Structure 1
Amino acid sequence: MKTLKAISLLLDYPSAVIQTHAEDLEALFAADEAIDMETRRGLTALVRRMAATDLLELQAEYTAQFDRGRALSLYLFEHVHGESRDRGQAMVDLIGFYEEQGLVIDSKELPDYVPLFLEFCSRLTRPAALGWLVESQYLLQKLHGRLEQRESDYQWLFKALLDIAGLETADEQMQRQLGEEERDDTAEALDRVWAEEPVTFGPTAGGCGGAKTNQGQAVPVSWSTIPRKSA
């Protein structure tokens, strides 16, 4: 699915490739009838803005938006498992799914990085790709809702994913919860994190380094509170 590949590119760290192929991206989104008209207009505006903005400025904006807190983290399992051991095993399982599709992961990226996940989905048949998007509905809705509240035009990328999968945006309850969240990307919030974060040395219990296999048994990849059914 070429649209998923395009969204993957736009959600990755900005590069000159986006600006070079801006017209191609516009045409691709305009032709995808699964995306509603309002979303297509939002995507077009985003692509045009990115094409017209200095690359260094785009990169600084991207870092400030996605790397200054966990609320907008583009690492999916961080929203589900945090730093628990479960995250490590989920990553191991996800790597297995990628390898089945011939996707070799660059060591610098974790498998739950949204652009990498979308690259994987883009290689699948449409029904299989939609299945993965539907399964990640809760996370897509939360990320879209938070970006919408912050009036970020990156919101249209997640809205497009919801459109493609035939999913609705956050319901009233989730919108209310998101509206009550305290932002974690302010200077004060970041200072609190640094003050509260313990200093540790040596191996930790969480993350990939702490992951252990379950005696060879497959452990389902869990995107939300509902475990994934057999792959």
Structure 2
Amino acid sequence: MNNTVAPTLGTDASQRLHRAQDVLQVCAYLLSYPSEAWWVALDEVAALIATWAESPVKDSLGSVVEYITSQTQRDYEDEYVRVFDFSGNTNMYLTSYDATNAEEQAAELLVYKEFYQKHGYEVVRELPDYVPALLELCSTLAVAEALPILTHSKASLAVLRQRLIDSQQVQAFVLDVILLVIERWEGATR
């Protein structure tokens, strides 16, 4: 997974479907580690968000970008590392939120690994439950292919969201958007 943003804009029904997938891709990007390449692409992400119609999704993700750009690169990187790398409470690995023992966690990791393999991908640098990689893959799939794993992940994403809210982290807005996309897709398939 490479966290690239490939906008697909338009107004017909098939293009709106891709827009939700673009939203997931932007969410994956915003939750990724802020490397040098990440900072370079941040302007492209902001420009993409600016093209979207007014909505709570646009407002939420736009606010996250505004928050990030209001800080120095070093300050945001330090915050990101503190929140996601040095905290057992808020990290990017979904199995840490719902598995109560090593055996359950291994079984959950296998579910994620099989999802990647089913779609021709392999996660090399991260565990398969790593949120940005999972979102990026789901952003490339049709709703019918992405929804089962997103639904499987929904409870853990909700736990992460609540923990980010409790610790007053801006990334909670990104989790709000992810959960909104999942709920909309679930509603569309009922």
Normalising to structure 2: TM-score of the pair? Answer: 0.74
**Cα displacement string for residues 52-86 of structure 1 (whole angstroms, at most 9, x for unaligned residues):** 43322222101111233322121101111144122
CA–CA distance in structure 2, aligned partners of residues 155 and 65 of structure 1: 12
Matched, 1:101 2:101: no
Aligned residue identity for 1:114: V
Aligned residues of 1:91 and 1:112 also touching (Cα < 8 A): yes
Residue number among 113, 117, 121 corresponding to 2:130 in the alignment: 113
For residues 97 and 128 of structure 2, the distance between their equivalents in structure 1, rounded to whole angstroms, comes to 14
State how far apart, in whole Å, the 1-side matches of 2:97 and 2:79 are.
Answer: 22
State the alpha-carbon separation in 1 of the partners of residues 70 and 152 from structure 2.
35
Q: What corresponds to 2:142 in structure 1? A: 125
> What's the % identity of the aligned pairs?
25
| Distance in 2 separating the partners of 1:144 and 1:79 | 11
Q: CA deviation at 1:116?
A: 1.5
CA distance in 1, matches of 2:144, 2:101: 32
**Residue type of the alignment partner of 2:119:** Q
Query: What is the CA–CA distance in structure 2 between the aligned matches of 1:30 and 1:135, rounded to whole Å?
Result: 31
Deviations 1:85-119 (A, max 9, x none): 2212332332222122121222x311111112112
How far does the alpha carbon of each residue in 1:119-143 deviate from its partner, in whole angstroms, 9 at most, with x for none? 2212211232233323322222222
Query: What is the Cα deviation at residue 39 of structure 1?
Result: 4.0
Amino acid at match of 1:57: D
**Alignment-derived partner of residue 161 in structure 1:** 178
- One of 52, 57, 60 as aligned partner of 2:78: 60
Q: Which runs of 5+ in 2 are unaligned?
A: 1-20, 185-190
- Contact 2:97 / 2:159 at 8 angstroms: preserved in 1? no
The 3-state SS of whatever aligns with 1:104 is coil
Within-5 A mapping of 1:1-231: 1-30=21-50, 37-106=55-124, 108-166=125-183
Tell me: CA distance 1:149–1:92, structure 2 relative to 1, closer, same or farther (3 Å).
Answer: closer
Kept in 2: contact 1:22–1:48 (CA 8 A):
no
> Which runs of 5 or more structure 1 residues have no equivalent in the other structure?
168-231
Count of residues in Structure 1 that have an aligned counterpart in Structure 2: 164
**More off after superposition, 149-158 vs 23-32:** 23-32
Cα distance in 2 for partners of 1:85, 1:37 equals 42
Task: Work out the CA distance in 2 between the residues paired with 1:157 and 1:43.
Answer: 6
Per the normalisation by structure 1, the TM-score is 0.62
